[in-house]
Structure 1
């Protein structure tokens, strides 16, 4: 193999590897923290463990961990233990809200979301984004997506895929100014 073929082969491996990393959610591309629009979104909350039927407005001037999930998402279910551990640690100081952006009323009902929540040990507020307002406001294109909003309603941290307790803690600590 000559030098030109070697360089071409190495570049191809790099492109394929980078694409695989992005496809498997090992790399976050284009997900830099930044200012959220001042638009407030009202989310319908469900009667489920740790949650009451009603609504929550996001953002509201408090540090908030926002997790967007779907009941069909295996990684979303696998993310719940880490989210629960972080909720147990920060729940008094940080608002937690998990939101399903599935089409409610079709094949998924509010009861399905509440049942999934209960089976996966959810114990903080859970809601549904029936009009996809929150999904659009924060440009959520994949699940799970986790955002931390700081007290100024800016996105202080954003990531997709399954996160460790340490990654979630780091995102929250940054929003709380404890870096």
Structure 2
């Protein structure tokens, strides 16, 4: 039997590890590490193991109160991205997603949903600081989507849904949405219309 000694250092280390992934509500610059992209930042890969799962019955909102029920997307394929202002890989991904959304137009809708607990207080300044051409400031401050995807959703999390609301694939972690391969993969949902 192994006996563990009580150690203040061990307790502090455990608490720090538990809190490391939490949205504490602090200003983004105090939570996030550097947002400079590196080759190792965009390491997400496509996962098709949950293909066919239905989109969760969750409603997201914009700061102005506009609502969007994800399960009622009018037969349009969409790419759903869960992100947060304090998540450095998420912030790196946002301009790439915006460029792709602008290029895709109505073919496949790109819906980015902030999981910031501070909701509009965090999202409005973030969108004001960036000049996104196509992304809209959707929010999920109650983390209903994170819970729907297993409670411990790692951010960023991006899921492609076809026109019937069925999952095609997902990416856990940041992904390089600027590549031709990414565009082809996203257009898979449009080909099943």
Per the normalisation by structure 1, the TM-score is 0.69
Q: Does 1:153 align with 2:170?
A: no
Aligned residues: CA RMSD = 2.6
Question: Is the contact made by 1:157 and 1:175 (CA closer than 8 Å) also made in structure 2?
Answer: no
Structure 2 portions without partners, runs of 5+: 1-40
- 5 Å-filtered alignment, 1:43-82, equals 43-47=60-64, 53-59=65-71, 60=73, 61-82=75-96
Question: Is the contact made by 1:102 and 1:128 (CA closer than 8 Å) also made in structure 2?
Answer: yes
Distance, in Å, in 2 between the alignment partners of 1:30 and 1:113 is 28
* 3-state SS of 1:168 partner: helix
Structure with the higher fraction of residues in helix conformation: 1
| 2:37 aligned residue | none
- 5 Å-filtered alignment, 1:8-87, equals 26=43, 28=45, 32-37=49-54, 39-47=56-64, 53-59=65-71, 60=73, 61-87=75-101
Q: Does 1:103 align with 2:114?
A: no
Distance, in Å, in 1 between the alignment partners of 2:46 and 2:108 is 26
| 2:191 aligned residue | 177
Aligned residues: 147
Distance, in Å, in 2 between the alignment partners of 1:88 and 1:30 is 25
Distance, in Å, in 1 between the alignment partners of 2:79 and 2:55 is 17
